[in-house]
Amino acid sequence: MKFGLFYEISVPRPWGRETEKTVYDNCLEQVALADTLGFDQVWAVEHHFLEEYSHCPAPELFLTACAMKTKKMRVGHGIVVCVPEFNHPIKIAERTAVLDILSGGRLEVGTGRSATWTELGGFRASPDETKKTWDEFVHCLPNMWTQERYSYQGRSWSMPQRTIVPKPYQKPHPPLWVAVTSPGTEVDAAERGMGSLGLTFGGFAEQDEKVKRYRKIIRNCTPVGKFVNENVSTVNFLYCHEDDAEGVKIGKRMTGTFNYLASQLLAAREAYPSKSYPSLGLLPALRQDASGPGDASGAPEGIAIGNPARLVRELKKWEACGVDRVNFLLNALESIPQEKVLDSLRIFAKEVMPHFQGASDSAAAAAGGR
């Protein structure tokens, strides 16, 4: 199992320019430290207009900065919105290729379609169309990355023959992922040979089923890319502290804040009834589970907050479900002071990572090998 970071970049009011800068600086400092500690990857969302919850509309810029501050960590779009009103597919192909070059071939490309009316309505995009345009985009991207000359006549977009340059550094191209929030999207990922970038979990039993379904279907997939990216990633919160009660208490402050912020947004399903959006999106199950009653300590099941022993126990359950990677949200509205976030990363790397094959290799390599 490998571990990574996952950024929404939530910014507390009032939004002075120094506040925004401080939050971005803090994120970059966390990423730089995580690279030295052996974390494997960093992901950033693409969100628009989601005040306080996420001030991350240009992940390619943030990820470029991450790439400049790190040596080994992979950088991931979690996700790039595949809706033409948000992003033209040519621009996606070009931007991702440049980021792959600048990062020396460390790019992962998560794809998705936005889950809020706040964003879809802001770009005047129809919620009924997003699944179709996403599907069209992910079939186009690998060809745009690999064919010297490219032309396309499709349903939502078209282009005459041109040479799309540059091409990505990774050959044949970067790994492709799908954001999985709505039920059944793991099947979409598997059928297309794409990684499952889980943004919910909804309990171990459900996750176990989803992973089994994904692994079974992907064996007979028709990959959209030039290779199959069979990987299951999920997202979690992280606050690790030597004292379990303190870790749970501070961690719950973060999960509660995140949950509160996310719920103020307008989910596509709430405002615009459509079969295209059967769930509320925006990490709903993660939010729900993170608010659960939990055990006697108050720590909800499966959430990585508390002392190292608790985190090892909970993450082993995810590993047993077949999850390959866990990406962590480290803060929400800066509710945890930066020094504590950095300490949490250090304790995690020292006392939790060694219990996981793959993660411990990364940690050892980061420390100079063994």
Partner 1 sequence: MPPRYGKLNTADWAKAAATINGYKTEPWLLKGAQILSINIEIDDDPADNLIPRTMHPSIPSYAIFNVTHYPESPAGAFSIAEVRIAGRTGVRPRGFVLRSFCDSEDARRELGARWGFPVAPAEVKIDLRHDRIVAHVIADGRNALDCELVDRDVIAGNDIQYIASMHLARNKEDGKMVLVQVDPEFVFSKAERGKPRILHLDNNAWGAGDNLRLGNPISATFTVADVTMPKIRYICNPEVPAMQGTTKVAA
Which residue ranges make up the site for partner 1 (CB under 8 A)? 12-13, 49-52, 117-118, 121, 257, 259-261, 263-266, 269-275, 278, 287, 291, 333
Report the SS3 class of residue 121.
Answer: helix
- By beta-carbon proximity to partner 1, the closer residue of 259 and 331 is 259
Smallest gap from Cβ 86 to partner 1, in A, equals 17
User: Burial level of 232, CB count in 10 A (0-12/13-18/19+)?
Assistant: buried
Judged by beta carbon, residue 116 or residue 233, the one nearer partner 1 is 116
Radius of gyration of the chain (CA): 20
Q: To the nearest whole angstrom, how small is the minimum distance from the Cβ of residue 78 to partner 1? A: 21
Q: Do residues 38 and 349 lie in contact, with contact meaning Cβ atoms separated by under 8 Å? A: yes
Residue number with CB closer to partner 1 (90 or 266): 266
The token pair that represents 79 in the structure block? 């996700």
Backbone φ and ψ for 180, nearest 5 degrees, come out as -115, 105
Q: Using the 8-state DSSP alphabet, how is residue 178 labeled?
A: E
Report the SS3 class of residue 354: helix
Shortest Å, Cβ 301 to partner 1: 19
Report, in Å, the least distance between residue 300 CB and partner 1: 15
Rank residues 326 and 333 by Cβ distance to partner 1 and give the closer one.
333
CB nearer to partner 1: give 2 or 47.
Answer: 47
Task: Give the nearer residue to partner 1 in terms of CB position, either 147 or 263.
Answer: 263
CB of 116 to partner 1, least distance (A): 9
Residue 353 gets which letter from DSSP? Answer: G
CB of 303 vs partner 1, minimal distance in Å: 16
Burial class of residue 53 (count of CB atoms within 10 Å of its CB; 0-12, 13-18, 19+)? buried
Give CA–CA dist 84/113, Å, rounded: 10
**Contact predicate 68/103, CB 8 Å:** no
